[in-house]
Structure 1
């Protein structure tokens, strides 16, 4: 491991806005994020596989009345987002180092109001389908920690992953499904709040359309029709 990564790991280990293995409260925060970490009763928004935390930090800037948690297993990536949050005094932004497979160890049932899955690894090989972060087993995990009526979002540049996810959620007969294969030429742009990740900017510069979908968890009907550009 390079010196740069080691230095970032050392910094992250001391950050109050990062919870990671070895910390005293690691694995003990399920159901307690509002009261024990944020010290408020505001909604909790989770970014799955946050990378550098660009979406987590971006949303934290825009919505001080909400709490945002970025999750990723790689501490060197989390370093960037946690640094920005410290520099900008975003006390409503936190980060959690964990494998997504273990997400239910860290959040209680109905504790989360909203989940963002931003540009996940598409896992294109058939043998890796179960590892896709939008596979049925992962969606079931998310749906258990998201409160009824909460929203799950996917944003991706990858066409096959988008089509796969759309098929999965349609088979699950979810409610309030909105989706488009070309976000920035659709009526759904406002749903993503104008936040662009570094990779997203690169994809757009290369002429790659961004795909997006969202649906609501655990409700019978919200009276919203799906959309396809």
Structure 2
């Protein structure tokens, strides 16, 4: 492990806004903060919003700056990335933003039923080969139901035509109420101050001429969720390893566009 990473981990251990629980604590039961985030950390009853797979935490911080009357928690397993947003929160003294280092797969151990109002999923790995690892799959949506208020909001912002098409089909199949659904956010006229917050990955995709897709839908508690049975072309502009990004010359005409209905 590089010295820079070690320093970031050391910094994180001192940050008031960062929560990291040893695995033996979580393995033996629930997170000590479960059901207590607003009372014990934020000290208010404001709505709680999560950014899942927050990376550097750009959305959690950006939203926190814009909406001081909501509470935000960025969630990711990689602490070295999260350090960027956490450092900003500490330096600016932002009382409504925190970070939680954990696996999204056990998110229901971290938050109590109905404790969360909204979930943001920003530029996740599309997991084209593994359905049950997609953050908008029925497996994960079932877990989100355990912590969201009834009809709570889920936002997906992605560069991936594959993940956008998959999520669009899943939402349509299950009749989930949709507020916004666009395959080209920045040419749709729908981008506002919130949606124009740009993550590290998003800036890279935009520089390569790719379009950004966005879906905002509600997740009711009732109803059995079903997976869509459709064939979706794989994204061609990057490998399956999220860490590697191919250059623009690998793009073919139309590759950056999501299939339309």
Would you call these one fold, judging by a TM-score over 0.5? Answer: yes
For residue 183 of structure 1, report the CA deviation from its aligned partner: 0.5
Structure 1 residues 127-206: aligned runs within 5 Å:
128-190=130-192, 192-206=194-208
Runs of 4+ in 1 over 4 A off after TM superposition: 23-26
Q: Secondary structure at the residue paired with 2:107?
A: helix
Asked which structure has the greater CA Rg, the reply is: 2
Out of 37, 40, 43, the position equivalent to 1:36 is: 40
Out of 48, 67, 73, the position equivalent to 2:71 is: 67
Q: Structure 2 length as normaliser, TM-score?
A: 0.79
Unaligned runs of 5+ residues in structure 2 are 223-259
Q: Secondary structure at the residue paired with 2:99?
A: strand
Report if the CA contact (8 A) 2:145-2:219 is conserved.
Answer: yes
1:214 aligns with 2:211: no
Q: Secondary structure at the residue paired with 2:56?
A: coil
For residue 191 of structure 1, report the CA deviation from its aligned partner: 7.7
Out of 58, 61, 77, the position equivalent to 1:57 is: 61
Q: Secondary structure at the residue paired with 2:146?
A: helix
Distance 2:183 2:86 in 1: 31
Distance 2:207 2:168 in 1: 25
Report if the CA contact (8 A) 2:126-2:160 is conserved.
Answer: yes
| Residue 124 (structure 1) aligns with | 128
Between Structure 1 and Structure 2, the one with more helix by share is: 1
How many residues are aligned here? 220
CA RMSD, Structure 1 to Structure 2 (Å): 2.1
Unaligned runs of 5+ residues in structure 1 are 221-227
| Residue 224 (structure 1) aligns with | none
| Residue 91 (structure 1) aligns with | 95
Q: Secondary structure at the residue paired with 1:6?
A: helix
Structure 1 residues 73-84: aligned runs within 5 Å:
73-84=77-88
Higher deviation after alignment, 91-100 or 194-203: 194-203
Q: Structure 1 length as normaliser, TM-score?
A: 0.90
Distance 2:187 2:215 in 1: 14
Q: Secondary structure at the residue paired with 1:190?
A: coil
Out of 84, 102, 119, the position equivalent to 2:106 is: 102
For residue 219 of structure 1, report the CA deviation from its aligned partner: 7.7
Q: Secondary structure at the residue paired with 1:189?
A: coil
Q: Secondary structure at the residue paired with 2:84?
A: helix
